[in-house]
Chains A and B, each alone.
Chain A
Amino acid sequence: GDQVKQSPSALSLQEGTNSALRCNFSIATTTVQWFLQNPRGSLMNLFYLVPGTKENGRLKSTFNSKESYSTLHIRDAQLEDSGTYFCAAEGGSALGRLHFGAGTQLIVIP
């Protein structure tokens, strides 16, 4: 089901610009992970969040458990940021398993 709704589904960004991706959760979520899937298919870990905010370079992510959403902000987009971004929620009726969103396909244009 749509326990994790991710938006937008696709996004084109001019190099150097900023954007935000969002996930809304319809399950009680304890932690959130964000991944970037590269063209080879590998899932690279970006953030692991309990409620709160983390920042890493040009990326910043927030998990708001009370309002059941998480955001990923990309600042000064670079060509190497292109790929598919996934959020995943841990929670619901069973701890441990991750519930994935459908992904945001990001293309950064020179």
Chain B
Amino acid sequence: NAGVIQTPRHKVTGKGQEATLWCEPISGHSAVFWYRQTIVQGLEFLTYFRNQAPIDDSGMPKERFSAQMPNQSHSTLKIQSTQPQDSAVYLCASSLLTGGRSAEQFFGPGTRLTVL
């Protein structure tokens, strides 16, 4: 089991450019979560999908951020017109979460995004 895979591991963009981050969950896991980590804010929830459907996007900035899960094997987080304050480590996690029951989350290695 390769665990949660995230690509790229590092990404540098110029201010105003677009960044797309990829996540491949553990095979068989039904839920995918996105978090980001900064020194100032710590670990923050962004959004999650269950069985590819968006369930909770309450942590997503309302502008410029979007997430999709087109199939059960990958999810993407897209940031349009990146700003320096978007610089962070973006973490993806997956779990066997089913409706009404909790499940352990397993994290990928993260993508470190640097916006110059």
Contacts and interface: CB of A to CB of B under 8 A. Distances in A.
Q: Do A and B bind each other?
A: yes
Interface of A: 30-31, 33, 35, 40-43, 45, 48, 50, 86, 88, 90, 94-103
B33 A97 contact: yes
A33 B42 contact: no
Contact of A97 (B45, B100, B106): B45
Given A33-B104, A100-B42, 9 more contacts: A40-B109, A41-B109, A42-B107, A45-B107, A96-B33, A96-B97, A96-B102, A100-B35, A103-B42
B56 A94 contact: yes
Given A42-B107, A43-B107, A94-B58, A100 B43 contact: yes
A3 B106 CA distance: 22
Contacts of B44: 100
Nearest to B109: A42
Contacts, number: 54
Nearest to B110: A41
B21 to A, nearest CB: 15
B48 A102 contact: no
A80 to B, nearest CB: 19
B91 A43 contact: yes
14 contacts: A30-B102, A33-B105, A42-B107, A45-B104, A88-B43, A96-B56, A97-B56, A97-B58, A97-B59, A98-B33, A98-B43, A99-B45, A100-B42, A101-B42
Interface residues on B, range: 20 to 34
B29 interface: no
Interface of B: 31, 33, 35, 42-45, 48, 50, 55-56, 58-59, 89, 91, 97, 100, 102, 104-107, 109-110, 112
Contacts of B112: 41
Contacts of B89: 41
